[in-house]
Amino acid sequence: MTGTAVSLHTLMSLRRFITEITDGPFGSALTSSHYSDDGARVIRLGNIGSATFRDEDAAFIPFDYFRGLRRHEVRPGDLLIAGLGDENHPVGRACVAPKGIGPAIVKADCFRVRLDESRLTHRYATWALSSMFVAQQVQTMARGSTRARINLEVAREIRIPVPVIEEQRRITKFLEAETRKIDNLVSKKRRLVDLLEERSDSRILNHVGASALVAGATGLPVQPVRHLLAKVVRPAVAGEGTVTAYRDGHVTERSLRRADGYTLSGSTEAQGQQVVPGDVVIHGLDGFAGAIGVSEAFGNCSPVYHVCEPRNGGDAHFFGRLLRLLALQGYLGNFATSTRERAVDFRNWELFGRIPLPVVPVEEQREIGSAIRRVRPLKELVERSAALAAERRQALITAAVTGQFDVSTASGRNVTEGITA
């Protein structure tokens, strides 16, 4: 139904319905140097989801500068199309600009489209463009060696299934209701994981707050990092993969995860030291951004990392989370020798090892560490469930816009059945 579906609705190019189309300002006309803390909204690729506007990572330009770029203006209800894609976000995906978005403009590689709504509604068009049936077509039209790209001319020629206007509205109403159920289910499961993470974080921060780091002379004792963690340096082992600390606190062999969310350390080749499961791993430059955690895999890492083991029976997961929380709150950065390329430099172990940390009883460390360890498999289960839900969502969209079933009779049935954690 997703990869080989044949549309039972007439295929027509967008060109037949477009009344106006524009892309974002070209080249140096709009760069990050023009951004400000407020003003007119800049809609970027990350804001365009598959039939969903992602109201995150907001960027703005001054109103005075916006007035010179009015031909790129976006109004609520406009169709937005992504002209650039990657492995996780397909080129050609689309959404509708939400209410209250203005004043706003699109950035480069984003298209703002206005249609003759008496023949093709913007809301239906987003669902059609987000179907696998159309996504596969757009992929064949795209160019680019590393990231798929389309231009305005190609966007005009995208062919989508176009039923009569009444059917477009029925399909839109059906998909909005049913995908909302799927999205809400996934959101609730992820929120449960977040709450469990927050509970462990809260316990750790309570210890920080009760310590001399915050409470001063009346607080509980603190000790330098080197008294609580022992730095280890094992020879690198030939043939083992590269262990990477990601900014979300996940430390694993790089081939097991995507290639974003970490900073390269001068060389793409692992060198200097071996890492084993249970090590506390701290990126000497990227740790400030959260690249601290406990390794889940064997492998090698570069010398820019500190690889440590807890002393005196301490719990590795407790220390991995403690250090990550202190890094994200800016505490560790206060002890850095310098900053470089948005990174805080604490590669010097002698300096890093002197940073004071709260002393927490070992039994309490183990309780918190155990809670942290229990969350990881649950998180993986939820993400697998989310991936299955995304597949079901995609199949549902594709089947609805290609006319594989009658949405009038399908409405009300439990299309989310089977999506479980």
pLDDT at 168: 96
Give exposure, 133-144, as e/b (b: 16+ Cβ within 10 Å): bbbbbbeebbee
**Tens-digit pLDDT profile for residues 123-152:** 999 999 999 999 999 989 999 878 899 999
pLDDT at 128: 95
Burial class (CB in 10 A: 0-12, 13-18, 19+), 322: buried
Backbone phi, psi, residue 385, to 5°: -65, -40
Q: For residue 105, what is the enclosing H or E element?
A: strand 104-106
Backbone phi, psi, residue 101, to 5°: -75, -30
- Which amino acid is it at 130? S
- The residue written with tokens 């206060």 in the block is 334
Return the number of other C-beta atoms located less than 10 Å from residue 419's C-beta: 19
Q: Residue 219 in contact with residue 213, Cβ under 8 Å?
A: yes
Q: What is the dihedral of CA 89, 93, 98, 104, to 10 degrees?
A: 80
Provide the residue ranges of all domains of the chain, joining segments of one domain with +.
11-162, 222-358
Q: What kind of fold does domain 222-358 have according to CATH?
A: Adenine-n6-DNA-methyltransferase TaqI; Chain A, domain 2 (3.90.220)
pLDDT at 103: 92
Residues in CB range of 41: below 8 A, 6 or more apart? 58, 59, 60, 74, 101, 102, 103, 104, 105
pLDDT at 122: 96
pLDDT at 412: 39
pLDDT along the chain (421 residues), means of 10: 65 96 88 91 92 89 92 94 86 93 91 96 96 91 87 94 96 95 95 96 97 93 97 92 92 77 49 90 91 95 95 97 95 76 76 95 97 94 94 92 86 44 38
Backbone phi, psi, residue 89, to 5°: -135, 105
223: left (phi over 0), alpha (psi -120 to 50) or beta: beta
The DSSP secondary structure of 227-247, one letter per residue, reads: HHEEE--PPP-TT--BEEE-T
Q: Which two tokens stand for residue 124?
A: 């239906």
CA dist 71 and 87 (Å) reads 31
Residues in CB range of 400: below 8 A, 6 or more apart? 127, 171, 174, 175, 407
pLDDT at 6: 73
CA-based diameter of the chain, in Å? 76
CA dist 17 and 101 (Å) reads 24
Q: Residue 66 in contact with residue 39, Cβ under 8 Å?
A: yes
Residues in CB range of 384: below 8 A, 6 or more apart? none
Q: Cα separations (Å) of 273 from 225, 247, 281, 330?
A: 20, 21, 11, 28
Q: What kind of fold does domain 11-162 have according to CATH?
A: Adenine-n6-DNA-methyltransferase TaqI; Chain A, domain 2 (3.90.220)
Strand partners, 174: none
pLDDT at 261: 52
**Tens-digit pLDDT profile for residues 16-27:** 999 999 999 988
Q: For residue 393, what is the enclosing H or E element?
A: helix 362-401
